[in-house]
Structure 1
Amino acid sequence: MSSSLDLSGKTTAELRTLIANAERVLADARAPAARHAMAEALAAAAREQLAAKAPKPPVRPNAKPSVVRDLAKEGCATIADAVALLSKEFDLTEATAKADTKQPHAALGKDGKAKVGGAEKAGLASIDRYTSYRRGQEVAVLRLMLPAGRTDGIDAVWEAGTRKTGTEDGALGTVYSGSDPTSAITAYRGLLAKMAPKR
């Protein structure tokens, strides 16, 4: 129940002092009943105001709905599995690519998961997870994209394609774009067959 006493101008420290003082009065059996009643009202009002001032848990600006989180997790697992499978057929190691590539790409992130793309980092996409292989100036990419603002996962797209490093927009020349990850992986395998050494 809301108190009629207005303590909104009090600081947290002042409110705690008011509560402590009111509790001392209430603990004094010799204090008159009217004083007890006033102390009770004051303590209740101070506690109410203190609760209103309590800091709220911060809302993560990049918090994503569970559907998007689950889709990203599933996409990362699919990409990691694809890399494990393709690595048995092709040498996708950075060491091998260094032969004619100044900045070879790691197939996965340092945590062993699909890499997080720039579009997701910049908030331009809800999901941008990918793997890539660079040889010379050409980069082959397999990725899962979901446009920013979509929370149902319906518009998620699997893409496989290549782009040239050093190009102004870094646009992906797609050879597959659709909802089927298996088709995207098959298309990516075809790109690797032209770029990466076989095992």
Structure 2
Amino acid sequence: MGKAVRHVFWAVVLVACALTSWRPALRLFYPFPYAGIVENAAAAYELDPLLLAAIMRTESRYNPEAVSPRGARGLMQIMPDTATWAAENIPLPDFGLDELDDPTVNVTIAAWYFRFLLDHFHGRVAVSLAAYNAGPGTVQGWLETGVWSGALREVEAIPYGETREYVRRVVQAYRLYRRLYSSSHQGHQGLLQ
């Protein structure tokens, strides 16, 4: 029964898209919640806010109280050790792990950390996304041993299935966010060209 309901649901979505402009219909599935917070953090760390939105969608589906089985928390699913380290470097005085449930704090830490990864990996977005998921040391090892070149077109070479799928999902979401919201974010030409 569940499969039939899903098919009917998607049929209704497709009809709605056909009868109306596709953009408003797709924005239901790819909203931009916390836009002000995301845009402020993106500006502070020179990131595309739409990429941060894509990461947020993939990580938590916009749930500020999300907690992964591994302990990652908040909208951007930050690990506690990473959050503590980032908070010291930002700096966020008197930071406590409970603040990871605060969207502003969570997105700020994630934006700082993603900027750190981009700088560390010389602006390579796919590599930085993989590192956001699997950890920079792990990804550095893949690059150094030639397991993965770091190219988006060679994402199949990523040894961790979860990370491979994560990079694909964020990239897909980012491309959709760019199509849906790029008129309001003209400053970025797209990072995955």
- In proportion to residue count, which structure has more strand? 1
Q: TM-score range by the shorter chain?
A: under 0.3
Choose 1 or 2 for highest CA Rg: 1
- What's the TM-score, normalizing by structure 1? 0.26
Task: Decide which structure has greater helix share.
Answer: 2
